[in-house]
A and B are shown apart, each in its own frame.
Chain A
Amino acid sequence: MYSQPLRGEPDPFFINTINRVCPTSFVMTGVGSSTMGSAIWTTANLALFFPFVLTGRHTYVRACVCNGTAVSGNFDIGVYSRTGTRLFSTGAQAQAGISQIQPITVSWTLDPGDYYMALVFNNIVATCSRTSPAAASLATTGCKQMATAYVLPTTATLVDTTTSYVPVFGISEKSWL
């Protein structure tokens, strides 16, 4: 059976909220909210979801978050299907390492498709590097949220985000990142 060869730009090695695989990045530059800064997580146990699209099948070996100037408590990074089913998550991770990338070892294989990257913190002392475009703008690119979602639930009830907060986090195919 004939199948069309893969076309278009291949997926990057590192998918995160500040590269264009995640459409949120266009909002941040488009509305002039591209200044990164450290800020506390807005609400304890609030999970934020950011859409991304894959054109190829890849295995990710690191889930990473960009910590801010204070670390506290625990977080959980996950990947969800478009309909809100949790596919992978790191489970509870103690936040550690001020103002640096914090990688968590994972082994997550994803097929081509639409996904959400999810991040939740269980407290509001923890900080991330983040940008803060208007929540309404984020909602127009498919950003979602869910309250009381620590640790990340098996099934997420997704609603349009009302949170003006884009943490820098992502998933990498390379262990050295």
Chain B
Amino acid sequence: MSYGAPSLERVPIMINVSLLQMMMEARTFFGGGATPSDRTWPVANLALYLPLLIPKKINVANMFWQNGATISGNVCMGLYNEAGTRLQQTTIVAHAGASAIQAPSITAFDLPRGRYWLGIAFSSATATIRGFGTSAVGADANKWCAIGEEALGSTQIPTTMTPVASARNVFLPFIGITRN
């Protein structure tokens, strides 16, 4: 029997932008607020990429986002490795379920310790998602959270992400993963 060192790391069942694994603490300094609320997707077919730090191997059951009250269009979400290559994605699904968590069915997969990006794109600029935000001037707040964005020609997130620094002031969509 091989020896396995005991783990000192705890990985929550659900990881989202309000937890440490997504490095969003900078938002508090830019007035990002403590309470998420409905946020309209900024631009149709805009993808946002948020960093995700995984301290030990987990098995991912799904990727999710939390809808706002206004439902519109389609959504696609995926996971990228450190270099920006897509590892997993949902299919493009209809935005569905007002104010509900939406987690399209995927095949569970292992995710080793590492640094990743979660990407998500909405087809509609009227669709809403729960998230953190503020109307205050934030001096490039999303950039300090290491959030990237990419204008896509469709809702399909790309095989290789090619982000630029996010031009949003503070727009942190409530997205994440669930582990088994």
A residues sitting closer than 8 Å to B (CB atoms) are 4-14, 16, 18-20, 25, 28-29, 34-36, 66-68, 99-101, 129, 131, 168, 170, 172, 174, 176-177
**How near does chain A come to B110, taking the closest CB pair, in angstroms?**
15
CA distance A9 to B113 in the complex (A): 8
Contacts of A11 in B (CB 8 A): 115
Contacts of B55 in A (CB 8 A): 7-10
**How near does chain A come to B113, taking the closest CB pair, in angstroms?**
7
21 sampled A-B residue pairs with Cβ under 8 A? A5-B113, A7-B8, A7-B55, A7-B113, A8-B9, A9-B53, A10-B113, A18-B25, A19-B23, A19-B25, A25-B25, A29-B25, A99-B139, A100-B139, A101-B165, A172-B146, A174-B146, A176-B148, A176-B163, A177-B148, A177-B165
Q: Contacts A12-B53, A101-B139 given: A34-B146 contact, CB under 8 Å?
A: no
CA distance A66 to B163 in the complex (A): 20
A18 touches B139 (CB 8 A): no
A36 touches B29 (CB 8 A): yes
CA distance A172 to B165 in the complex (A): 12
* A14 in complex: contacting residue of B9, B139, B144, CB < 8 Å: B144
Q: In the complex, which of the residues B7, B31, B144, B163 has the most CB atoms of chain A within 10 Å of its own CB atom?
A: B144
B21 in the interface, Cβ–Cβ < 8 Å? yes
CA distance A170 to B21 in the complex (A): 19
CA distance A5 to B165 in the complex (A): 32
Contacts of A168 in B (CB 8 A): 29, 139, 144
**How near does chain A come to B51, taking the closest CB pair, in angstroms?**
6
A18 touches B26 (CB 8 A): yes
Chain A: CB-nearest residue to B140: A101
What is the number of residues of chain B that contact chain A, defined by CB distance less than 8 Å? 31
Chain A: CB-nearest residue to B54: A10
CA distance A177 to B23 in the complex (A): 15
- Write out, one digit per residue, whether chain B residues 1-28 have a CB within 8 A of any chain A CB (1) or not (0): 0000101110000000000110101101
Q: A7-B113, A10-B53, A101-B140 are in contact. List 20 more A-B contacts (CB 8 A).
A: A4-B5, A9-B53, A10-B54, A10-B115, A12-B23, A12-B146, A16-B144, A20-B23, A34-B28, A34-B29, A35-B31, A66-B144, A100-B140, A101-B143, A131-B29, A168-B144, A176-B148, A177-B146, A177-B148, A177-B165
**How near does chain A come to B28, taking the closest CB pair, in angstroms?**
5
CA distance A60 to B17 in the complex (A): 24
